[in-house]
Chain A
Amino acid sequence: GESVGLHLPTLSVQEGDNSIINCAYSNSASDYFIWYKQESGKGPQFIIDIRSNMDKRQGQRVTVLLNKTVKHLSLQIAATQPGDSAVYFCAERFPPGEGSARQLTFGSGTQLTVLP
Chain B
Amino acid sequence: ETGVTQTPRHLVMGMTNKKSLKCEQHLGHNAMYWYKQSAKKPLELMFVYSLEERVENNSVPSRFSPECPNSSHLFLHLHTLQPEDSALYLCASSLFAGPTEQFFGPGTRLTVL
Contacts and interface: CB of A to CB of B under 8 A. Distances in A.
Interface of A: 9, 31-32, 34, 36, 41-46, 49, 51, 89, 91, 93, 100, 102-109
Interface of B: 2, 4, 33, 40-43, 45, 48, 50, 55-56, 58, 90, 92, 97-99, 101-107
Contacts of A46: 101-103
A106 B40 CA distance: 12
A51 B2 contact: no
A43 B56 CA distance: 21
Nearest to B33: A103
Contact of B56 (A32, A51, A103): A103
Contacts of B102: 34, 46, 104
Contacts of A93: 99
A44 B90 contact: yes
B101 A34 contact: yes
A36 B40 CA distance: 16
Contact of B2 (A41, A45, A49, A109): A45
Given A34-B101, A42-B106, A107 B42 contact: yes
Contact of B55 (A45, A91, A102, A104): A102
Given A43-B90, A43-B107, A45-B104, A102 B97 contact: yes
Given A93-B99, A103-B48, A109-B42, 16 more contacts: A34-B102, A41-B106, A42-B106, A42-B107, A43-B2, A43-B92, A43-B104, A43-B106, A44-B90, A46-B101, A89-B42, A102-B48, A104-B102, A105-B45, A106-B42, A108-B42
